[in-house]
Amino acid sequence: MVMERTLVILKPCTVQRGLIGEVISRFERKGLQLVAMKMIQLTDEVLNEHYAHLSDRPFFNRIKLSMMSSPVVVCCWQGLDCVQVVRAMTGATNGRNAQPGTIRGDYSISTQENIVHTSDSVETAKIELERFFDEIDFFDYPQTLDAYIYASDEK
């Protein structure tokens, strides 16, 4: 199997509420590997590109204003079926509809202030990761506990 990579953005609400460590630890405890991370301030230009698929929606400006209200933390996580695993852990977009036990189900009660953005496919993840990271930002290192995370025939 091939290790996938996916983007997770810890939104301004996560930064402001002091939940960065809580969210990161959930992915770590699952067994995913953090291979890139940085704090950045999003700009109008980047958000116009990132959320271009929503540009005709009435809430587009609200999303941009929210995402620029504070720095965010962008992360790249790696693992088997990582995109799908992260999406399942994250839960429904609307925090009020997200199941307890998911990140949004445990920490959000909003559609917008819903803790994280995650890539929705392997293809989207590749595009989004290139938007936020340079090749030098990624670290390829052995995860010493892999033998206890994956079966020997899974990697």
Give the model's pLDDT for residue 114. 97
Residue 153 within a domain? no
Q: How many domains does the structure of the chain reveal?
A: 1
Angle at 64 between CA 62 and CA 68, to 5 degrees: 120
- What are the angstrom distances between the C-alpha of 54 and each of 13, 49, 80, 119? 20, 10, 29, 15
CATH for 58: 3.30.70.141
- Would you give per-residue pLDDT tens digits along the chain (155 residues)? 579 999 999 999 999 999 999 999 999 999 999 999 999 999 999 999 999 999 999 999 999 999 999 999 999 999 999 999 999 999 999 999 999 999 999 999 999 999 999 999 999 999 999 999 999 999 999 888 888 999 988 87
For the question of whether the overall pTM of this predicted structure is more than 0.85, the answer is yes
Establish whether 117 is a catalytic residue.
yes
Give the model's pLDDT for residue 155. 72
Domain residues for the domain of 133 are 3-80+87-148
Give the model's pLDDT for residue 1. 57
Helix residue ranges per DSSP H, the chain: 12-16, 20-30, 44-50, 60-67, 82-90, 103-107, 122-132, 146-149
Nearest CA among 27, 21, 29 for reference residue 8: 27
Please identify which of the residues 13, 42, 117, 119 carries the catalytic annotation. Answer: 117
- Distance, in Å, from the CA atom of 148 to the CA atom of 60, rounded to the nearest integer, reads 43
The answer to whether 77 and 138 are in contact (CB under 8 A) is no
- CA 97 centroid distance within chain: 19
